[in-house]
Amino acid sequence: MKVYLDNSATTAVEKEVLEAMLPYFSDIYGNPSSLHSFGRQALKAVDESRQKIAALLGAKPNEIYFTSGGTESDNWAIKGAVRASKNKRRQVITSAIEHPALLETCEALEKSGEAEVTYLKVNKEGLVDPADVKKALNDDTVIVSIMTANNEMGAIQPISEIGEIVRGEGVLFHTDAVQAADTLDLNVNALNVDLLSLSAHKFHGPKGIGLLYMRSGVRLDRLINGGHQERRQRAGTTNTPLIVGMAKALEISVRDRERNVKHMTELRDYFIGRALNEIPYCYLNGGTERRLANNINLSFGFIEGEAILMSLDLKGIAVSSGSACSSGSLEPSHVLLALGVKEELAHSSIRFSLGRDTTKEEIEYTINTLKEIVDRLRGMSPLFNIEKRTGSYV
């Protein structure tokens, strides 16, 4: 049995999405910037896609800028805002648990001396306190960026509350909504944001395409220089098929959201309930209330996460891990550490991210397989006494 539980890494392109894209590779292949009929035909598809996406986000079509994905959108929002600012000193406020696309961008701006960055702490459920945002704001603050939902442990941030504080002070507010797109309502006015990043492949669209929503009146420096595409703000030949695919994918996601969220929430809670009940020394990372419908993040005491991941893989089950070993770095997940999870348990963490097509049968198979694997690895662990079924880290 093959079970894909890594939908936060990427999702399968929906058949309907693939079919919508296909004509735009070799039949309607004109450059949307060209004046002739070939170009106009492609431009029509791009315009329609832009309108569709804007409507789904509660935005205006000219507030949607197509990019290569979430990483570019994040880079553009932060670098663009800092570089466009006339402030003498420029401060960026973000959280300690952002995606590397955001954190590495901030670090680069610190290194180059372009900005000072304040990293807000989160509580043990991974939530940013809006009061902390208020405290961190000062006259130099150019932009605040807080992710809509966390990619590792699914914490859903109080974005609209933070937006009210930040925008009330006349400061730009950006959110990386990449991980939230398939399960949360992303109306930009309800969220109260100026800038929002999305990536199509997280909601069953194609890889290599994303967008930055930029509220009318916001000015960013350009990140990509070149041609006059995207109202001169983002150069590069307009990617007609992927844009069409992203629009179709978002349309389906929003259309089926209620049903899919209900389905995934039921499976998620069933999975977490069984795992915590049936596996000793198993811990849920993150909270239960403000959590993405498709996110499960568990730590398994006395065994290492990558070994669990590889063991599951040998049984056909695909997951990801917050252990250092699986990322190629020495440190385990910065997100789990920021939650106060102990290092040894961060090394033991596994993320199971469900999809709209995940079945109960797949979940049953995964939990049953997981129990066997945890037992097997604990039998090999010098920290665990398999006869007495107890362990210790000392």
Question: CA–CA separation, 332 vs 190, rounded Å?
Answer: 35
Q: What are phi and psi of 370, to 5 degrees?
A: -60, -45
Which residues in 200-229 contact other proteins (CB under 8 A)? none
Cβ-based neighbours of 30, under 8 Å, separated by 6 or more? 36, 37, 38, 39, 40, 41, 42
Cβ at position 375, least distance to other proteins in Å: 13
**Out of 347, 350, 356, 370, the residue judged to bind other proteins by CB under 8 A:** 347
Q: Contact between 14 and other proteins (CB under 8 A)?
A: no
**Out of 118, 297, 326, 366, the residue judged to bind other proteins by CB under 8 A:** 326
Interface with other proteins by CB under 8 A: which range of 170-178, 225-233, 275-283, 338-346? Answer: 338-346
Q: Contact between 1 and other proteins (CB under 8 A)?
A: no
Q: Contact between 324 and other proteins (CB under 8 A)?
A: yes
Cβ at position 344, least distance to other proteins in Å: 4
Question: CA–CA separation, 171 vs 187, rounded Å?
Answer: 20
Using CA atoms, how far residue 213 sits from 61, 70, 179, 192, in Å, is 9, 11, 15, 12
Interface with other proteins by CB under 8 A: which range of 8-16, 29-37, 94-102, 303-311? Answer: 303-311
Which pair of tokens denotes residue 370?
A: 């997981």
Query: To 10 degrees, the CA torsion angle through 99, 105, 107, 110?
Result: -150
Q: Contact between 303 and other proteins (CB under 8 A)?
A: yes
Q: How many C-beta atoms surround the C-beta of residue 104 within 10 A?
A: 14
**Residues 53 and 250 sit within 8 Å (Cβ to Cβ):** yes
Which residues in 98-137 contact other proteins (CB under 8 A)? none
Q: Contact between 306 and other proteins (CB under 8 A)?
A: yes
For the packed helices 360-380 and 240-278, what is the interaxial angle rounded to 10 degrees? 60
Using CA atoms, how far residue 86 sits from 81, 90, 116, 133, in Å, is 10, 9, 15, 22
- Cβ proximity to other proteins: between 215 and 376 the closer is 376
**Out of 112, 168, 380, 390, the residue judged to bind other proteins by CB under 8 A:** 380
Cβ at position 393, least distance to other proteins in Å: 5
Catalytic residue check, 282: no
From 325, 337, 365, 381, active-site residue: 325
Binding site for other proteins (CB under 8 A): 302-304, 306-307, 310-311, 314, 323-326, 328, 330, 332, 342-344, 347, 379-383, 393
Residues known to be catalytic: 325
